[in-house]
């Protein structure tokens, strides 16, 4: 299936220099692990080739397919920039009094400044697409020809799908490494019963949170309050 794509050439004619960039993230919602933001650039006449090799919304691909496509995308991309935002840095945003959206905006603007594409397509995380776009623009040190921020951009624009695939594949690798070291904790999402049980058991055993957990998540705070703080109060009253 992937062998067929190997005959597709991503070479760009010399007279075509319009650089298109897609930006997306992976791992915004989980209680475990980092968030990954990726920006990837291609010439405009290469975008259709992304469809030809099977690039689409990363959530609709198997982990194996994402890994295969991530390799091809990285090998053929004109420019690429990846940012890994640790659980600790996500937590520190509370001290800096910035929202998760603002943290993403800062990183996305930095990625764009490094890549300097002509056109940018971004998967908007703000409910207000225009507000998100304007916030990104304020962080740029140059003026691109076009910026599009859309909900579900990873479904609409192949170049955003490509960035989503790389981000998701990298986060998958990081999560698998954590599982190899600490045991299988499920998907890492608050909706996953195995994840919640793993977090609760860790806190009960170690009297603190794992180093890769987001302490600022309400899920973590609730378990800490239930398993540690309430227990300490009970022990004190029983003395």
Please list the pLDDT of the chain residue by residue as tens digits (239 residues): 333 334 455 665 555 689 999 999 999 999 999 999 999 999 999 998 998 999 988 888 999 999 999 999 999 999 999 999 999 999 999 899 999 999 999 999 999 999 999 999 999 999 999 999 999 999 999 999 999 999 999 999 999 999 999 999 999 999 999 999 999 999 999 999 999 999 999 999 999 999 999 999 999 999 999 888 765 433 323 33
* Residue 200's CATH number: 1.10.10.460
User: Both 165 and 209 in a single domain?
Assistant: no
Considering the domain boundaries, does residue 2 fall inside one? no
Considering the domain boundaries, does residue 77 fall inside one? yes
Q: Which of 134, 162, 179 is the last residue before a domain boundary?
A: 179
Considering the domain boundaries, does residue 7 fall inside one? no
The answer to whether residues 51 and 158 touch, using CB atoms and an 8 Å cutoff, is: yes
User: Both 112 and 174 in a single domain?
Assistant: yes
* Residue 147's CATH number: 3.30.420.10
User: Both 121 and 226 in a single domain?
Assistant: no
Number of domains observed in the structure of the chain? 2
User: Both 120 and 198 in a single domain?
Assistant: no
Task: Determine the pLDDT at residue 15.
Answer: 59
User: Both 44 and 144 in a single domain?
Assistant: yes
Task: Determine the pLDDT at residue 6.
Answer: 40
Task: Determine the pLDDT at residue 146.
Answer: 97
User: Both 167 and 191 in a single domain?
Assistant: no
User: Both 97 and 72 in a single domain?
Assistant: yes
Task: Determine the pLDDT at residue 12.
Answer: 57
Considering the domain boundaries, does residue 10 fall inside one? no
CA distances from 55 to 11, 24, 38, 82, 165 (A): 18, 14, 15, 18, 8
Provide the residue range defining the domain that includes 214: 183-237
Task: Determine the pLDDT at residue 237.
Answer: 30
User: Both 196 and 150 in a single domain?
Assistant: no
Considering the domain boundaries, does residue 6 fall inside one? no
Considering the domain boundaries, does residue 192 fall inside one? yes
Considering the domain boundaries, does residue 80 fall inside one? yes
């Amino acid at each position: 299936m992937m062998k067929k794509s190997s005959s597709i050439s991503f070479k760009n004619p010399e007279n075509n220099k319009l650089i298109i960039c897609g930006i997306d993230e992976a791992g915004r919602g989980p209680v475990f692990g980092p968030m990954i933001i990726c920006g990837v650039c291609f010439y405009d006449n290469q975008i259709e080739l992304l469809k030809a090799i099977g690039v689409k919304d990363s959530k609709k691909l198997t982990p194996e397919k994402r890994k295969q496509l991530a390799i091809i995308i990285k090998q053929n991309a004109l420019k690429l920039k990846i940012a890994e935002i640790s659980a600790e840095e996500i937590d520190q945003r509370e001290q800096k009094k910035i929202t998760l959206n603002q943290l993403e905006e800062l990183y996305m603007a930095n990625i764009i400044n490094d890549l300097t594409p002509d056109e940018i397509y971004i998967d908007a995380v703000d409910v207000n697409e225009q507000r998100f776009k304007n916030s990104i623009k304020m962080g740029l040190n140059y003026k691109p020809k076009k910026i599009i921020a859309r909900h579900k951009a990873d479904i609409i624009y192949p170049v955003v799908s490509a960035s989503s695939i790389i981000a998701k594949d990298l986060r998958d690798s990081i999560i698998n490494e954590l599982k190899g070291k600490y045991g299988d904790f499920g998907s890492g999402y608050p909706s996953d019963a195995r994840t919640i049980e793993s977090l609760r058991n860790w806190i009960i055993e170690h009297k603190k949170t794992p180093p890769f957990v987001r302490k600022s998540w309400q899920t973590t705070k609730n378990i800490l309050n239930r398993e540690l703080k309430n227990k300490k109060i009970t022990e004190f009253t029983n003395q």
